[in-house]
Amino acid sequence: MIKRIGILTGGGDCPGLNPVIRAVVKTAIEKYGMSVVGFKNGYKGLYNNETVELTLENTSGILHRGGTILFSSNKDNLFDYLVPDENGNMVKKNVSHVGVENIKKNNVDAMIIIGGDGTLTSGRDFARLGVPVIGVPKTIDNDLSSTDTTFGFDTAVGVAAEALDRIHTTAESHHRIITVEIMGRYAGFLGLSAGIAGGADVILIPEIPYDINKVADHIKNRIANGKEFSVVAVAEGAKSVTGEVVIQKVIENSPDPVRLGGIAQKVAEDLEQMVGLEARATILGHIQRGGTPSSADRILSTRYGVAAVELAMAGKFGNMVALKDNQMTYASLEDVIGANKAVDPNGELVQAAKAIGTCFGD
C-alpha cells in the first residue's frame, strides 16, 4: 500500500511544473489520504537529501506560477555524478545508491519524477534498481514521442508568437529583415507552430535543411511585390543544406553538454549581404520558458499530475504518463527514452504553411 509519495523536478524549468506538483499533492492528500515529500533541486537534492513536506497549504496558489517551487537542475546525474575522491579531486562516480537510501529514509513508497529525456533517463535507471518510479513528461520542445503533447509547449508557442507579432511592426516600420531565434533544440515543433501563429514570412526548422539562397530569393520577391521587410522564425537547431548547426558553447560537466545558439545572427548576417536590407537578430531565449502557464497548460498539467498518482496507486511503476488521442494513458520508460519525435516535413502543418506562402528554404 502506498502511503507516501516523493516528487522531484529535473531539467530546464517549464510553464506547468507547479500545476503538476499541485495536482499530485491534492490528489494524494484529498483523494487517498497520503503524504507527499518534495526533493528540492532535482537529483542534486535527492543526493543531498534536501526535502520539503508538501501540503495543501504550501501548494495553494501555485497553479498560475511559472517555474517550480521545488527548483531544478539540469546538470546532475547520480549515475555519473561529480564527487571528490580521497585526494580532493573531482571525479565522476555512480552514486545512485545514495539517492535510493534517501528515498528509503523519507519512507517514500513511490517516486514521481517530472522531466524531459535526460531526467526520465535517470528515472528509468532508478526503476531498474527497484525504485517504484512514475515519470511525467516535461519539455517546451514537445519532442517526446510517447505522448501527443507535453505541458509547457502551448505557453512557449504563445510567448514566441507574441514576440513575432511585436517584431513584425518594427520590421515593417524600418524596412528590415528581422530573424527571431526560437528554442526547440533538434525538433522544430516550437519554431513551426510559433512561426505560423506569428505570421513569419520564413520558417527555418531542423527537419528541413535550408538553402540560404532560396531564402534570399523569397525575400527579394517580397520586396519586388512591395513588401520591404521580412520576419524570419529560426529554430535554434535549424541547419543549412550543408548540415551545419550553430553551437553557442559546450558545457563539459553537463549530461547534455551542447548548447545551441547563434543561428539567428548568422542567418541575419547572410541575408543582409545577399538581399541588401538591414537585418537584425532577436534571441528570445529563456523568455519562452518562464512566466505564467497558459490555461491549456494548466489543464494539461493537472491531468498529468492526477494521472501520475492514479498510475502509482495502480502499481504500474516504471512507466510515464502520456496523452494519446486526448486520453490519459502510459508508456514504459524503457520505450520512452531516446525515442524523440520530429516534425514531418511532408506533414499537414508544414504543407498548410507552404500553401499560404511561407518559405522554408527548401
Contacts of 51 (CB under 8 A, 6+ apart): 37, 38, 39, 40, 45, 106
In whole angstroms, what is the distance from residue 116 CA to residue 187 CA?
A: 14
The residues carrying an active-site annotation are 141
In whole angstroms, what is the distance from residue 192 CA to residue 236 CA?
A: 12
Q: How does residue 259 score in pLDDT terms, banded at 50, 70 and 90?
A: confident
- The cell for 40 is 528540492
- The cell for 7 is 516528487
pLDDT in tens, 299-343: 999 999 999 999 999 999 999 999 999 999 999 999 998 888 999
Give phi and psi for 234, each to the nearest 5: -120, 115
pLDDT in tens, 123-175: 999 999 999 999 999 999 999 989 999 999 999 999 999 999 999 999 999 99
pLDDT in tens, 71-92: 998 889 999 999 998 888 999 9
Give phi and psi for 274, each to the nearest 5: -85, -30
pLDDT in tens, 195-218: 999 999 999 999 999 999 999 999
pLDDT score of 254 more than 70: no
Q: What is the sign of the dihedral through the CA atoms of 186, 192, 193 and 198?
A: positive
**Mean of the per-residue pLDDT values for the chain?**
95
In whole angstroms, what is the distance from residue 26 CA to residue 311 CA?
A: 15
Q: How does residue 244 score in pLDDT terms, banded at 50, 70 and 90?
A: confident
Q: What fold is seen in the domain 4-151+293-336?
A: Rossmann fold (3.40.50)
Residue 330's DSSP bridge partners are 321
pLDDT score of 256 more than 70: no
pLDDT at 338: 83
In whole angstroms, what is the distance from residue 28 CA to residue 117 CA?
A: 25
Domain boundaries, the chain: 4-151+293-336, 155-290
Tell me the residue length of the chain: 362
In the block, residue with C-alpha cell 520576419: 231
pLDDT at 5: 98
pLDDT in tens, 341-359: 999 999 999 999 999 999 9
Report, at the CATH architecture level, how domain 155-290 is classified. Answer: 3-Layer(aba) Sandwich (3.40)
The more confident residue out of 112 and 242 is 112
pLDDT at 258: 74
pLDDT at 88: 85
pLDDT in tens, 231-240: 999 999 999 9
pLDDT at 39: 98
Tell me whether the CATH fold assigned to 4-151+293-336 matches the one assigned to 155-290. Answer: yes
